[in-house]
Structure 1
Amino acid sequence: MVYPILAEVAASVSELKRNPMATVAAGDGAPVAILNRNEPAFYCVPASVYASMVERLEDAELNAIADARQGEPVIPVVLDEL
């Protein structure tokens, strides 16, 4: 079976076990595909890339909520009255 590898750098699980930090560094800030028996098992990304991905997902979720509420009536609120 053919599997797409969605990274420019790939490493085996054995390589990852041998030297995890060197495996991450091989990606030079980009994801590294970790292969198990020549099939992608997971992707290893630096912490900064993961944080950026989570932030983008949260932004997309907030945009979907805002779009869903776009047609709702606006209720004026005075903060001092709360």
Structure 2
Amino acid sequence: MESILAECSASISELKKNPSALIEQSDGEPIAILNHNKPTAYLIPAETYEAILEKIEDYQLGLIIKERQNEKISAVEISIDEL
């Protein structure tokens, strides 16, 4: 049996009837969309999706910073005037 990773769930039929009402009722939380009682998708409000993308971007930038810190040994110091 698959886990449902949301407190709210709705069938595809319910989603088709009134998607706006589902989003409003969820209060910003994800909604598991079920097909034959199995999760097939998760519906989240745009603000939540944007926040997730921002967190992913921050994580990826953190990885780049860690990579570049290892390159610090081979860096050449120069003054701003030399640029």
TM, length-normalised to structure 2: 0.86
Check 1:34–1:80 CA distance in 2 against 1; reply closer, same or farther (3 A cut).
Answer: farther
State the one-letter code of the partner of 2:42. Answer: Y
Larger-gyration structure (1/2)? 2
Poorly superposed stretches of 4+, deviation over 2 Å = 73-81
Q: Which moved more, 1:69-78 or 1:53-62?
A: 69-78
Contact 1:32/1:43 (CA < 8 Å) preserved in 2?
yes
Count of residues in correspondence between the two structures: 80
The match for 2:52 is 53
Which ranges of structure 1 fall in alignment gaps of 5 or more residues? none
Which ranges of structure 2 fall in alignment gaps of 5 or more residues? none
Q: Tell me, in whole angstroms, the C-alpha distance in 2 between the residues paired with 1:32 and 1:79.
A: 56
Identity across matched positions, percent: 43
| RMSD over aligned Cα atoms | 1.8
Q: Tell me, in whole angstroms, the C-alpha distance in 1 between the residues paired with 2:49 and 2:25.
A: 16
State the one-letter code of the partner of 1:30. Answer: E
